[in-house]
């Protein structure tokens, strides 16, 4: 057995040595990613870890994964353990807003302290390349004509993709409670259904389907961002007469009841990180869009998103 | 031929001495972490990914491949020696592998797993290099109706294969299906049977169930008998190497396992579990000594291990051609690509041909390295079994608990682990097979969502399952497999009456 433990210890040491460069500041952070390894929140937490340590915004950063239920398990645990803590952050986003409502979670984002909004990615509405729908207008006409036969594919039920499908259906003049949305575990699995021509239209993060859009396997009809984005040919829904916008945002939160000084220190460390060239480089590598907003702006934003998501989920029948 | 030249080019990069050293370090690290019970390759890779950040893309990918294979092999090692599978795909390996280890034949079991994995990965890598573009076109045509048909076949074969009678197999499967219902329904986002416990919202973790049923159940079983008939440490009998007979019995299962693993792994929702189950069932049907199954048949280790590794290579098909990670490990690999600003997808083979072929070559080199480093250590690993049983099982309990906590730190998870341990003990005591429970938990929710997706797309018309030739054929096979044994039994009785 000692052979075991010796090798394990060696492995741990090797990992630690690899991830601990010297840093100037004293901040020793723990970032909770309320999702398993490999997902978007985990990636965001580990990206923050990488850049904060590279730029010296923090002395050490540890990432903890608490997966479960669209992030609500991690949120509940965080709200308890990080109460008043000056060195704890939680990653969250719009999917968590939806999950709190559909799961009737006891803890919501009003219970934690918003620190900063980090990224905001556009969602994209696509059809398979052989689809008869050439434009967004064709698609909305089809929705209006027969909402049940317009089959959508996208990520998890109640998530950002589902909400956008409902908003577009509503804007097209059809009943959002009738939207025929087939939920997949993520954009990847939904992609296979799109390429196989089993569904009418699909919604996912632009980055996830970028390759297929560029190769011509999927036809992008619109993006959900309010303004056009450089390098993306598809135009915003708003510019095409469908008055809907939705941004898949991610941000960081601190625990409940932290002091103003701690809140400012955390905000400053994040600001230093996101303004660094390293962060901009990383955003480009990951295909993320900068959507930084400081604490006060972010707080108001979270509240308005909560109201909007709640209203939409109610119209689909997923929340009360 | 173009692919072949590029593959050779990839090899020329991977074989540089520095890169070989990275492969060796990766394999060692991966094995060391992967042997912890309950820690599968995905978690191993995620834990060790930061260690590769500092290297150049070539070196990093190679170390990554080494960690991946090391993690897979480490998982099989504990499944065989300690009966504690670290992931769903090595559950089947534990069935026969542990029985072999208990008979003192842990050495050959580890060897056939390692060599079988190597052979399967070799075949699958060649398949990946030459068939990927064709396979992916076929795979996306696989609709939800087809997946449902495939899962029906898996249900029927599994419940008929495991256990002393189909009824016991079906009972265990039923428990698994019930456990599979717990958690958030994927299609509506509503929770089922979770009773407001947030930790249950994502359903029961497969590794928690597997470790509970196998490792904890086993430890309780040993403890319960220790008072009456203390078991002696398992002696190692015969050679720790594979005999000529072992080779003769292993090579066909390796090839068949690869034939199951690669195509199913290449499906966007195929995974590694179904091919291992199908391979086990097939080997049992084809074996010259089917009575050895359940008591340490080497075919039952060789086939599923080959299928597992071939499906891992198969899952690179959707990952590299569609950017579609079909397993947790593939998702972590995707992250590995992204750190170099590379988005896998249809353009990857065109835009980053050198890196893709470099990765394929690295997987190959890592596999060779695994064989070179680990085969000599088989003798060392099996020494584990010389530890006196109370110590060994105490150690298993500690490591199994640690692995579970590392994957999911919560009290509920520990309670579940203990509960499943008790369930495993009782099932063993009353002779119910435990493997179908795990099959039910894995495939139940998948069959559930695929069936409902099919119905959603057909606006509620069940005929959709019979209108597609693929699903119609698979459902027919499943029905025949379910009914045939009873019909034959009836016919036999009928003939007896005639005589």
The 10s digit of each residue's pLDDT in A95-104 is: 888 888 887 7
pLDDT at position B480: 84
Region B83-107: what's the mean pLDDT? 82
Q: Give Cα A160 to chain centroid, integer Å.
A: 8
pLDDT at position B134: 75
CB atoms within 10 A of CB B391: 11
Q: Where residue B206 falls among pLDDT bands split at 50, 70, 90?
A: confident
Top mean pLDDT of A59-63, A146-150, A194-198, B317-321 is at A146-150
* Cα A181 from Cα A161, distance rounded (Å): 9
Collapse the DSSP code of B421 into the 3-class scheme (helix H, G, I; strand E, B; otherwise coil) and give the result: helix
Task: Give me the residue from A18, A156, A318 closest to B51, CB to CB.
Answer: A18
CB atoms within 10 A of CB A16: 11
Bridge partners of A122, per DSSP, are: A247
* Cα B153 from Cα A190, distance rounded (Å): 24
* Cα B167 from Cα B174, distance rounded (Å): 10
Region B53-79: what's the mean pLDDT? 78
* Cα B316 from Cα B323, distance rounded (Å): 9
* Cα A230 from Cα A232, distance rounded (Å): 6
Top mean pLDDT of A226-230, B49-53, B199-203 is at A226-230
Bridge partners of B394, per DSSP, are: none
Region A90-118: what's the mean pLDDT? 84
A149 in contact with B at a CB cutoff of 8 Å? yes
Considering only CA atoms, which of B277, B349, B266 is closest in space to residue B314? B266
Q: What distance in Å separates residue A296's CA from the closest CA in chain B?
A: 30
Bridge partners of B114, per DSSP, are: none
pLDDT at position A257: 85
pLDDT at position B69: 80
B469 in contact with A at a CB cutoff of 8 Å? no
Q: Give Cα B340 to chain centroid, integer Å.
A: 29
Question: For residues A158 and A99, is the Cβ–Cβ distance under 8 A?
Answer: yes
pLDDT at position B342: 65
The 10s digit of each residue's pLDDT in B347-382 is: 666 667 777 777 778 877 888 888 887 777 777 777
Q: Count of A–B CB contacts within 8 Å? A: 172
Share of chain B above pLDDT 70, in %: 82
Residues of chain B contacting A46 with CB distance shorter than 8 Å: 50
Q: Where residue B282 falls among pLDDT bands split at 50, 70, 90?
A: confident
The 10s digit of each residue's pLDDT in A36-86 is: 665 678 778 888 888 888 787 777 788 777 766 777 778 888 888 888 788
* Cα B396 from Cα B214, distance rounded (Å): 11
Q: What is the largest CA-CA distance in chain A?
A: 70
Considering only CA atoms, which of B284, B302, B373 is closest in space to residue B67? B373
Question: For residues B403 and B38, is the Cβ–Cβ distance under 8 A?
Answer: yes
B459 in contact with A at a CB cutoff of 8 Å? yes
Task: Give me the residue from A14, A196, A217 closest to B143, CB to CB.
Answer: A196
Q: Where residue A134 falls among pLDDT bands split at 50, 70, 90?
A: very high
Chain A's closest residue to B34, CA to CA, is A8
Residues of chain B contacting A15 with CB distance shorter than 8 Å: 47-48, 50-51
Chain B's closest residue to A154, CA to CA, is B187
Contact A68 B346 (CB under 8 A): no
Contact A19 B457 (CB under 8 A): no
pLDDT at position B205: 81
Contact B325 A38 (CB under 8 A): yes
Strand pairing report for A247-254 and A88-93: antiparallel
B380 in contact with A at a CB cutoff of 8 Å? yes
Structure ipTM over 0.90, yes or no: no
* Cα A222 from Cα A234, distance rounded (Å): 5
Please report, for chain B, how many H helices and E strands are present, in that order. 23, 2
Question: For residues B451 and B151, is the Cβ–Cβ distance under 8 A?
Answer: no
Helical packing angle, B389-407 and B217-226, nearest 10°: 160
DSSP string, A25-60: S--EEEEEESS-TTSHHHHHHHHHHHHHHHHTS-SE
* Cα B100 from Cα B107, distance rounded (Å): 9
Q: Any idea how long chain B is?
A: 499
DSSP string, B347-372: THHHHTHHHHHHHHHHHHHHHHHHHH
pLDDT at position A19: 40
DSSP string, B73-133: HHHHHHHHHHS--SSGGGHHHHHHHHHHHHTT-HHHHHHHHHHHHHHHHHHHHHHHHHHHH
pLDDT at position B102: 83
Share of chain A above pLDDT 90, in %: 18
Region A139-168: what's the mean pLDDT? 90
Interface test with B, best of A16, A44, A68 (most B CBs within 10 A): A68
Contact B189 A318 (CB under 8 A): yes
* Cα A154 from Cα A169, distance rounded (Å): 14
Better-scored residue on pLDDT, A5 or A296: A296
């Amino acid at each position: 057995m000692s052979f075991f433990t010796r090798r394990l210890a060696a492995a741990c040491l090797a990992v630690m040595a690899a991830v601990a460069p010297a840093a100037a500041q004293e901040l020793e952070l723990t970032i909770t990613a309320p999702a398993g390894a490999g997902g978007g929140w985990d990636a965001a937490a580990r990206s923050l870890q990488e850049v904060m340590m590279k730029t010296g915004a923090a002395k050490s950063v540890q990432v903890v994964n608490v997966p479960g239920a669209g992030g609500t398990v991690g949120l509940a645990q965080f709200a308890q353990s990080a109460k008043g803590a000056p060195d704890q952050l939680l990653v969250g986003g719009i999917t968590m807003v939806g999950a709190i409502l559909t799961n009737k979670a006891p803890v919501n984002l009003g219970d934690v302290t918003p620190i900063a909004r980090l990224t905001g990615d556009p969602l994209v509405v696509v059809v398979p390349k052989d689809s008869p729908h050439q434009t967004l207008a064709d698609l909305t006409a089809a929705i209006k004509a027969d909402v049940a036969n317009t089959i959508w594919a996208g990520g998890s039920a109640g998530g950002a993709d589902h909400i956008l499908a409902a908003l577009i259906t509503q804007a097209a003049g059809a009943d959002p409670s009738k939207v025929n949305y087939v939920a997949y575990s993520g954009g990847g699995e939904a992609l296979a259904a799109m390429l196989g021509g089993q569904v009418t239209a699909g919604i996912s993060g632009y980055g996830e389907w970028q390759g297929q859009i560029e190769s011509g396997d999927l036809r992008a009809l619109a993006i959900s961002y309010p303004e056009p984005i450089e390098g993306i040919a598809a135009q915003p829904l708003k510019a095409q007469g469908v008055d809907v916008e939705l941004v898949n945002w991610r941000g960081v939160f601190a625990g409940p009841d932290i002091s103003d000084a701690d809140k400012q220190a955390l905000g400053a460390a994040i600001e230093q990180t996101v303004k660094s060239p390293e962060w901009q480089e990383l955003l480009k590598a990951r295909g993320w869009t900068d959507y930084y907003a400081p604490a006060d702006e972010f707080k108001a934003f979270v509240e308005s998103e909560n109201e909007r998501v709640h209203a939409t989920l109610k119209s689909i029948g997923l929340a009360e | 031929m173009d692919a072949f030249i590029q593959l050779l080019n990839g090899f020329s990069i991977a074989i540089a001495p520095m890169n070989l050293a990275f492969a060796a370090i990766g394999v060692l690290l991966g094995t060391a972490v992967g042997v912890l019970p309950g820690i599968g390759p995905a978690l191993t890779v995620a834990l060790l990914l930061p260690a590769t950040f500092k290297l150049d893309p070539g070196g990093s990918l190679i170390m990554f491949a080494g960690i991946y294979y090391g993690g897979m092999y480490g998982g099989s090692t504990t499944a065989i020696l300690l009966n504690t599978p670290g992931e769903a795909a090595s559950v089947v390996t534990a069935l026969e592998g542990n029985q072999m280890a208990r008979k003192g034949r842990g050495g050959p079991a580890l060897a056939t797993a390692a060599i079988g994995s190597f052979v399967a990965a070799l075949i699958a890598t060649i398949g990946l290099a030459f068939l990927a573009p064709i396979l992916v076109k076929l795979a996306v045509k696989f609709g939800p109706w087809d997946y449902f048909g495939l899962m029906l076949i898996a249900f029927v074969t599994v419940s008929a294969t495991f256990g002393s009678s189909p009824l016991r197999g079906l009972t265990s499967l039923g428990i698994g299906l019930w456990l599979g219902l717990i958690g958030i329904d994927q299609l509506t986002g509503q929770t089922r049977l979770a009773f407001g416990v947030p930790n249950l919202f994502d359903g029961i973790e497969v590794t928690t169930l597997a470790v509970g049923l196998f490792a904890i159940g086993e430890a309780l079983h040993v403890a319960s008998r220790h008072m009456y008939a203390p078991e002696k440490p398992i002696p190692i009998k015969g050679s720790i190497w594979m005999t000529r007979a072992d080779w003769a019995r292993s090579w066909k299962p390796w090839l068949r396992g690869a034939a199951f693993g690669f195509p199913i792994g290449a499906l966007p929702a195929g995974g590694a579990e179904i091919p291992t189950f199908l391979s086990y069932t097939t080997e049992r049907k084809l074996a010259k000594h089917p009575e050895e199954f359940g008591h340490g048949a080497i075919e039952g280790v060789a086939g599923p291990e080959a299928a597992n590794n071939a499906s891992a290579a198969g899952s690179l098909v959707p990952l590299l051609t569609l950017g579609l990670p079909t397993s947790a490990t593939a998702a972590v690999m995707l992250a590995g690509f992204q750190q170099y600003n590379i988005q896998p997808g249809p353009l990857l083979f065109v835009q980053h041909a050198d890196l893709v072929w470099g990765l394929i070559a690295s997987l190959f080199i890592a596999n060779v390295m695994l064989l070179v480093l680990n085969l000599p250590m088989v003798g060392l690993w099996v020494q584990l079994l010389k530890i006196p049983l109370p110590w060994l099982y105490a150690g298993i309990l500690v490591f199994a608990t640690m692995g579970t906590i590392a994957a999911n730190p919560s009290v509920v998870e520990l309670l579940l682990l203990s509960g499943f341990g008790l369930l495993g003990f009782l099932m063993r005591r009353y002779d119910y097979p435990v493997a179908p429970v795990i099959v039910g938990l894995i495939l139940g929710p998948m069959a559930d969502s695929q069936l409902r997706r099919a119905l959603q797309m057909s606006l509620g018309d069940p005929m959709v399952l019979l209108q597609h030739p693929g699903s119609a054929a698979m459902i027919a096979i499943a029905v025949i497999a379910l009914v045939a044994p009873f019909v034959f039994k009836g016919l036999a009785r009928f003939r007896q009456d005639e005589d």
